[in-house]
A and B are shown apart, each in its own frame.
Chain A
């Protein structure tokens, strides 16, 4: 897989009047699936729309596939697929008609009938866009983003408001795109979506990226994991601490109830259990508490993600 960035945003600033939507944002996205995660109003859409060439940065630089999305738009547009948050289709057009039209604008489009089948758009029949359900409109927008066989796809809140079944269909398509070498940048305020799909997650709040990494890295990094076990009271915590890596802490919280905080991985778990074995301790109720992206977000910003 290529390692050069597909998207490179440096010190991006974008204001609307006296409101600063994006405030010195840095983002590097590589091949694969990158989720831009944040609450409503964090600057996700503004960032993505700047990458799509819709908005001119007030300052900072944006490169997509190595190109300037505004100045080199003609070269970039055929290589990129765009799914807007809403709309984008003639209100009097049928789903298949619009999809076939977008296909005609590309040199080597996907098989439209297969794509219609895949996304369950066949049931739309002769219904015009304005009378399609919200889920059908979303899936049509998704189909329009991929039909031109782009290298990179931008999906702005692709599953917002979808029922669970349609949501899974969208996730499956994103996984297939990734497997076939299409890079995907998606914005979402669903933590599970980012965890399920993304190789890399950028958490945005108040117009800045406040953390970035794989879901695993973020869950370890932003907040350390916790390992708990119970044993007989008064164990030698100092000796346990010596056996653990340097950045771990260990404590007896209440008599017989122990907590280890640190980078909890299989090695650490083995270290704790073998220490217990050496000391003839049976660790009852041993548990590892993994932090979710939602916890990470809460800790970083003090805000709920789904605001």
Chain B
């Protein structure tokens, strides 16, 4: 070959940080472009926060309703993105061969998962910023240690991501869509998001308190509403879910 043509081979992977950034940017763009995803991650949490803070439907105990609701809705926002949204999106990516095609690109699998996590975190930052502004407008007065809040959000994200990816990597895309939405709804009602857990029978309470959504909403409430220190019990529950979920996802995830 004397002269280089247009297609003359010059292979090579892009630097890893560039690949991960590109992948995370694309995934975030896909998510923000998807109407159903926005309904789940933005519209529903916002409506719940505004509606239940301004209309006295559920007895949220002593104090302002928004002080009880804001931590619950933040937990819901984390679940909607890390679990429901990620499960549905990844399920369909698997179904349509996106994961398969990316698996033969220079992007390593771990880098793809890193990019997915980054995309989830970026979305959560946007959600939390929006919900915080709305909560303040509704008269929210949060307390507590921001580091404890951050720790809860990160462990909650890890727990929900593991469960979401486990579902996306093992079920058919349609089954994931249905199941992820159903779980979202059930955990919304039974996970202490807007309905305090003490409204449930005491036997049920003990079980419900072990759910990741209950641990996250309860932990956030302890800190933000009651100014508690680090809620180790809730962090422990989230850590167990994270380890179990991520390990199972790593083991059972099928890429095609």
Contacts and interface: CB of A to CB of B under 8 A. Distances in A.
A28 B107 CA distance: 28
23 contacts: A53-B104, A54-B256, A74-B108, A78-B11, A79-B9, A84-B101, A87-B98, A87-B101, A89-B98, A90-B30, A90-B98, A92-B34, A102-B105, A104-B22, A105-B19, A105-B22, A106-B11, A106-B14, A149-B11, A151-B9, A179-B5, A181-B8, A182-B8
Interface of B: 1, 4-15, 18-19, 22-23, 26, 29-30, 33-34, 92-93, 96-98, 100-101, 103-108, 256
A106 B100 contact: no
A89 to B, nearest CB: 6
Contact of A87 (B10, B11, B96): B96
Contacts of A180: 1, 4-9
B7 A110 contact: yes
A87 B95 CA distance: 9
Interface of A: 52-54, 74, 77-80, 82, 84, 86-93, 97, 101-102, 104-108, 110, 114, 144, 146, 148-151, 176-177, 179-182
B107 A105 contact: yes
Contact of B13 (A93, A107, A176, A182): A107
A53 B96 CA distance: 19
B100 A54 contact: yes
A102 B101 CA distance: 10
Contacts of A101: 22-23, 26
A179 B18 CA distance: 31
A209 to B, nearest CB: 23
A88 B12 contact: no
Contacts of B92: 91
A189 B3 CA distance: 34
A109 to B, nearest CB: 8
A91 B89 CA distance: 10
A88 B98 contact: yes
A104 B23 CA distance: 9
A89 B101 contact: yes
Contacts of B9: 79, 149-151, 180-182
A229 B255 CA distance: 61
A190 B88 CA distance: 38
Nearest to B13: A78
A177 B7 CA distance: 6
Nearest to A80: B104
A82 B11 CA distance: 13
A87 B100 contact: yes
A82 B101 contact: yes
Given A52-B104, A101-B26, A149 B13 contact: no
B122 to A, nearest CB: 17
A110 B108 CA distance: 21
Nearest to B5: A180
A176 B19 contact: no
Given A149-B10, A180-B5, A92 B97 contact: no
Nearest to A118: B6
A298 B13 CA distance: 44
Contact of A90 (B11, B93, B256): B93
Contact of B105 (A77, A86, A92): A77
Given A106-B12, A107-B14, A181-B7, 7 more contacts: A82-B104, A88-B100, A101-B26, A105-B107, A149-B11, A179-B5, A180-B4
